[in-house]
Amino acid sequence: MKKVSFVIMIACFVALYACKNAGSVSNNNDMENNGEVGLAEASDHETAPDNHKAEQPVSEALVRIITDHGNMTVKLYNETPQHRDNFLKLAKEGFYDSLLFHRVIRNFMIQGGDPDSKNARQGQPLGQGGPGYTIPAEIVPGLIHKKGALAAARLGDAMNPTKASSGSQFYLVQGRAYSEQEINMFEQQGHRFTPEQRAAYTTVGGTPHLDNEYTVFGEVIEGLEVIDAIAAVQTAPGDRPVKDVRMKMEVIQTHLDK
């Protein structure tokens, strides 16, 4: 399996926050704090088959993520059906059970979903694994990286110009609250925010520099404090927690439930 490194340079975030520890969803340890996001995944880059049903969904899918730090309930967006259905499929199959949150950066995000993490030894580099396929990007402008957002990791633009997502690796946003002046500076760099999005980023917080670059396909609706607890754990070089943080998933409701 290939090992691929990746980078996506985000100039505005680098300029504003290069001195802050909140920079990447990547396993590239040399680039961890500079505003980049990505995934190193070993896969053949095949695209996941589009198996979602033709029926109109009548509810939102809900999945419980269970950890030693508490449980989180996430709802999956119907606006991103391929990511929704793939996440449900893997959760139902037990794919995520006993996997690690293998990359944790306080005030940024917690990342998991690498199958190689299940039996990983201490100090083993992680972030390369996946199910052997990618998912076409479903980037919806209204779905933002507010705190609690569930988004798909991916290879960088140089290797992945279509922004296709990893078949299994995901991250949950912690981020931080931004001032109105900071949001204005993002807009000067080309970002655009609705009043509701501004309110989210200046109160709950998040990682606005990631918007429109990665597929956001859900959000935590219960258990935001669990993200904070996991983000606060001690980490080793490479952002892997010193003490393993494992997950288990339970599907509470699918999008076709009545």
Token pair of 71 as six digits: 């449980």
- In which band, very low, low, confident or very high, does the pLDDT at 39 lie, cut at 50, 70 and 90? low
* Statement: residue 43 has pLDDT above 90: no
Q: Are 185 and 16 in contact (CB under 8 A)?
A: yes
Q: Which amino acid is at 251?
A: V
* Percent of the chain with pLDDT strictly greater than 90: 73
Residue range of the domain that includes 109: 11-49+57-253
- The answer as to whether 223 is a domain residue is yes
According to DSSP, the residues that pair with 61 across neighbouring strands are: 76
- The answer as to whether 227 is a domain residue is yes
Q: Are 35 and 13 in contact (CB under 8 A)?
A: yes
Cα distance between residue 151 and residue 169, in whole Å? 9
- The answer as to whether 2 is a domain residue is no
Cα distance between residue 182 and residue 223, in whole Å? 27
pLDDT in tens, 204-241: 999 999 999 999 999 999 999 999 999 999 999 999 99
- The answer as to whether 4 is a domain residue is no
Q: Report the domain count for the chain.
A: 1
Cα distance between residue 154 and residue 151, in whole Å? 10
Closest-CA residue to 12 (of 238, 212, 232, 231): 212
* Statement: residue 15 has pLDDT above 60: no
- The answer as to whether 191 is a domain residue is yes
- The answer as to whether 237 is a domain residue is yes
- The answer as to whether 96 is a domain residue is yes
The pLDDT of 7-19, averaged and rounded, is 33
Cα distance between residue 138 and residue 210, in whole Å? 14
- In which band, very low, low, confident or very high, does the pLDDT at 59 lie, cut at 50, 70 and 90? confident
Domain harbouring 61, CATH code: 2.40.100.10
pLDDT in tens, 169-185: 999 999 999 999 999 99
Please give the residue that has the higher pLDDT: either 54 or 118.
118
Cα distance between residue 156 and residue 74, in whole Å? 26
- In which band, very low, low, confident or very high, does the pLDDT at 9 lie, cut at 50, 70 and 90? very low
Q: Are 203 and 135 in contact (CB under 8 A)?
A: no
Helices (H), the chain: 11-17, 81-93, 180-188, 195-203, 224-231
Closest-CA residue to 257 (of 78, 104, 86, 34): 78
Cα distance between residue 101 and residue 72, in whole Å? 14
- The answer as to whether 6 is a domain residue is no
pTM as predicted = 0.81
